[in-house]
Amino acid sequence: MGRILLICRLALRDLRRRPGEAALLLLATTAATATLTIALALNGVTGQPFQSTRAATAGPDVVASLAWPGQSEDPADLAGLEALASAPGVAAHSGPYPYTQAVVEANGVTVRAWTQGRGAEAAAVDQPALVEGGWVADGGAVLEASFAQAIGVDAGDAITLGGRSFRVAGVAVTAAADPYPKVCLAPCWFGVGAESRAENGPPRTRPRPERGPPSGPPEEPSFWIGQGGLVWVTEADARGLATRPGSLAYVMNLKLTDPAAAPAFVRAHMPEAESMLFPVAWQDILYGHARVAEWKQTALLGGSWMLGLLALASIAVLVGGRMADQLRRVGLLKAVGGTPGLVAAVLLAQHLAVALVAAAAGLLAGRLVAPLLAEPGIGLIGRADPGPLTLPVAGLVTALALGVAGVATFLPAVRAARTSTVRALADLPRPPRRAGWLIAVSARLPVPLLLGLRWAARRPRRAVLGVAAIAVTVTGIVAALATDARRYAEKAPGDDPRTALGQVLSLVVVMLVAQAVVNAVCVIWAATLEARRSSALARALGATPGQISAGLSAAQVLPALGGALLGIAGGIGLAEILDDDPVAVPPLWQLLAVVLGCVVVIAGLTAVPARLNARRPAGEALRTEPA
Amino acid sequence: MPSESLSSLGPALRTHGLRMRYGQGTGLVNALDGVELEVARGETLAVMGPSGSGKSTLLHLLGGLERPSEGEVWLAGRRIDGLGEKALARLRRQAVGFVFQAFHLMDELTAEENVELPALLAGMSPRAARRRAGELLDRVGLAGRAGHLPSALSGGERQRVAVARALSNEPLVVLADEPTGNLDSAATADVLRLLDSLRETGQTLVIVTHDARVAAIADRLISMRDGSFVEETRLTRGGGRLSELAGLEG
């Protein structure tokens, strides 16, 4: 007990003596824990609003659509749909409702919309819930809420639909379709039905996936598979908007006795390959709604682990630098009877204490920020509540903080504890590493590079930590840029709700950059402290302050440049891993800007301590006896 | 180049009214108090005194490693106390070689790499710098230890490497701060022989030391106390005062 008290007292005193360092550690670890908390809080955040929307709209368990995509003049064969309505396990149904595709023009935005014909009476299954205005009427269209928001229309506005003028009668939400721009009815397919069909071979006539102008040449397909919204009109208007029989399709909404069995129902009722009938389970529609939140969560989870790695690097550098600075104190502690174990325990205790505070601060900050990022998703009703803080979440966040602090502190602490007492009391620094080939190469370089390379090589572990920190940061930034590039390459007309991910990506990037700056400050602090004597010696041997200053900068900038180049490859790889779709490589100018940005920031951060170091009289550092 | 503005006539080093103060208020320390000094070309000057008497401070001021609070420092006819850091660095490169008590060798560089460093900093080609380092190591008797790291050398060998490094750019003056302070008797004898051989070649030397044996190789000895010169003795080789001093710490 007495030993524990002693460790606590020594650890507390150490923290008080170095409040700036403790604050840096706290900041670095809190950034990681807060981001992890947000990411965990966003898990399944869309589920609740989707269920509310299902309840409010009598949402279907299966949406079955049937298309006959234009290669024939035959009308859609409704027998398949009618058979589904009477299948075992079906409790209720609505439809079949006719639908077609029509070009919507509003506020300068031109985009296709799946246009579904509905009756005036309320449907037993999938009756869209109005959030604005009234229900469909002749010449009056109701727009799905995410679609209305994307193209910026409200009830009462005028739009053009299939070349005809319509009034926006209302805006409604539904649980029967993905949000804009991912609405998908036959001949578009997705979900377990698509998987089942892929296993059984492709349909005889595949839909044409290529994009074309909304109003194309006469030979354009009856259905255009791509980004689009959802509009409800009267059945008469829907039939009127279908330019020919093949461009009219039908959709039916089914309620099952066991909603959880919807995927199994879909698999069981997949028609033979030739049919253009596509049933979709409600779970797949929920997945579509959850995609935006899922992207956010993936970005935040990735970000939190990267921030954790950066915190690890920062703490390792801080502890290593501090050990070099405090070697004499460690020696004194050992000389008065402290065991190596006590020395290591004191160091571990203070960093674990900071980690615990960081875990608490991260949990609190994460809980406060998560609701701001957890909007329900446009097109759903109800509140997206990140949910209460659970024990597993708190445990995982605390484990991250303690793990980072423990791993980063353990090795330097053990090394300090094992340093010979005499050597520690003499304050002899650890001998630097020698890289013979680098010394030979650097002899041929200009003086700043000669000095910079040799300084960087003296402490390879610190250089590797610096490279790793920049590589992790650039990986995060490039992955965010790649994700962003793909989102914008695929951006739907109007205000695509998926671009809301930009907010989260920006948050992750800002936190990564902030964390990287903290790390760079730690590395530069440790490196400048260490270079005091050797830079003074170089000056005594004839190096100018400018050469010293440039050399100290080069010692940081060269590893940063290597880290940035590694990070570019890492970022594109990470985006590829995190995204099911092919990754979009960010434009070259963005990649160059990231690399140059790293170099400039590191050079800027190094410039001040390097100049201060170069201005100090060399004699001070070389003095061997008092004046 | 600074060397172009250095005169080949007159004393190698000269100071006038040199003062150096550290701290302020009640903590003010007069490390040097009005030092007047002149060192002739080719002369070997030893400065002795107890710890804290200002010997090392004087050496740092003579080599431009620190700036005086007051007074003048002249190197080969050029006043250097007001020069900027860049000009001072160039001057050191061309005209001053340092030898430190703690050797201050770069631990990760071999003896040869340590010796060639000043030449590389002065812009000499790597090949020429390596050749010069080889010659100097040969001169200090360490040709066979060129590839060794400082940690693999004895104290005396390290200091001989440091002396070779100080000679790398053929300086006008070598400033040695307690060159035998960390050495045992045998190593001290080696370094003394080396310094004496430098003296014989006409190298200007200023040596700060506690050790009377080191002072014994000098042409002139100055004693310092509390930042001031208290005694100046011109030494004659081969007896008298020299033998007396050498016998003190034998």
pLDDT tens digits, A328-337: 666 776 677 6
**pLDDT in the model for residue A193:** 66
pLDDT tens digits, A2-22: 778 888 888 888 788 878 878
**pLDDT in the model for residue B205:** 93
Residue A394 clears pLDDT 60, i.e. is over it = yes
Q: What is the mean pLDDT of residues A128-138?
A: 87
Residues of chain A in contact with residue B20, where contact means CB-CB under 8 angstroms, are 627
Higher pLDDT, A462 or B217: B217
**pLDDT in the model for residue B46:** 93
H/E run at residue A533:
helix A501-540
**pLDDT in the model for residue B240:** 44
* Closest CA relative to residue A202, chosen from A191, A220, A189, A184: A189
**Closest residue in A to B49 (Cα–Cα):** A627
Contact B108 A454 (CB under 8 A): yes
Residues of chain B in contact with residue A542, where contact means CB-CB under 8 angstroms, are 89-90, 92-94, 118, 121-122, 169
Regions of chain B where pLDDT drops below 70: 1-5, 7, 237-250
Q: What is the mean pLDDT of residues A264-275?
A: 75
CA-based nearest distance A566→chain B, Å: 28
User: A195 is written with which tokens?
Assistant: 């998987």
CA-based nearest distance B248→chain A, Å: 23
pLDDT tens digits, A17-49: 878 878 888 887 888 788 778 777 766 665 677
| Cβ atoms < 10 Å from Cβ of B141 | 14
Residues of chain A in contact with residue B63, where contact means CB-CB under 8 angstroms, are 540
**pLDDT in the model for residue B110:** 94
Amino acid in position A92:
A
Q: Which of A188-192, A195-199, A313-317, A573-577 has the lowest mean pLDDT?
A: A195-199
Q: Which of A119-123, A331-335, A537-541 has the lowest mean pLDDT?
A: A331-335
Residues of chain B in contact with residue A532, where contact means CB-CB under 8 angstroms, are none
pLDDT tens digits, A173-207: 888 888 887 788 777 777 666 666 666 654 444 44
Contact B113 A447 (CB under 8 A): no
A37 touches A401 (CB < 8 A): no
Residue A438 clears pLDDT 70, i.e. is over it = yes
Residues of chain A in contact with residue B94, where contact means CB-CB under 8 angstroms, are 542
Interface test with A, best of B21, B93, B121, B208 (most A CBs within 10 A): B121
**pLDDT in the model for residue A29:** 82
**pLDDT in the model for residue B220:** 93
Considering only CB atoms, B107 lies closest to which of A431, A615, A627, namely: A431
Residue ranges per structural domain of chain B: 40-63+85-248
**Closest residue in B to A534 (Cα–Cα):** B106
Contact B108 A434 (CB under 8 A): yes
A322 pLDDT band (50/70/90 cuts)?
A: low
Q: What is the mean pLDDT of residues A224-243?
A: 83
- Cα A61 to chain centroid distance, Å, stands at 31
H/E run at residue A96:
strand A90-106
**pTM confidence score:** 0.68
**pLDDT in the model for residue B245:** 44
CA-based nearest distance A622→chain B, Å: 8
Q: Which phi and psi (to 5°) does residue B234 adopt?
A: -90, 125
**pLDDT in the model for residue B61:** 92
Residues of chain B in contact with residue A458, where contact means CB-CB under 8 angstroms, are 108
A297 touches A39 (CB < 8 A): yes
- Rounded Cα–Cα distance for residues A304 and A315 (Å): 16
**pLDDT in the model for residue B37:** 93
Choose from A206-215, A490-499, B222-231 the range with maximum mean pLDDT.
Answer: B222-231
**pLDDT in the model for residue A209:** 39
**pLDDT in the model for residue A450:** 92
Contact B51 A626 (CB under 8 A): yes
Contact B63 A615 (CB under 8 A): no
**pLDDT in the model for residue A447:** 92
Considering only CB atoms, B54 lies closest to which of A534, A620, A627, namely: A627
Q: Of chain A residues 455-484, which have a CB less than 8 A from chain B?
A: 457-458
Residues of chain B in contact with residue A540, where contact means CB-CB under 8 angstroms, are 63, 65, 92, 98, 104
Q: Which of A89-103, A119-133, A303-317 has the lowest mean pLDDT?
A: A303-317
Q: Is A86 on the interface with B (CB under 8 A)?
A: no
Contact B121 A542 (CB under 8 A): yes
- How many alpha carbons fall within 13 Å on the CB side of residue A121? 5
What dotted CATH number matches B40-63+85-248?
3.40.50.300
A374 touches A293 (CB < 8 A): yes
Contact B65 A543 (CB under 8 A): no
Interface test with B, best of A423, A438, A445, A625 (most B CBs within 10 A): A625
CA-based nearest distance B5→chain A, Å: 17
Helices (H), ranges, A419-459: 421-425, 436-442, 447-458
A208 pLDDT band (50/70/90 cuts)?
A: very low
Choose from A13-27, A135-149, A336-350, A517-531 the range with maximum mean pLDDT.
Answer: A135-149
- DSSP state for residue B23 in the 8-state scheme: S
**pLDDT in the model for residue A218:** 43
- Beta-bridge partner residues of A249: A99
On average, the pLDDT of chain A sits at: 78
A610 touches A528 (CB < 8 A): yes
Rg (CA), chain A: 32
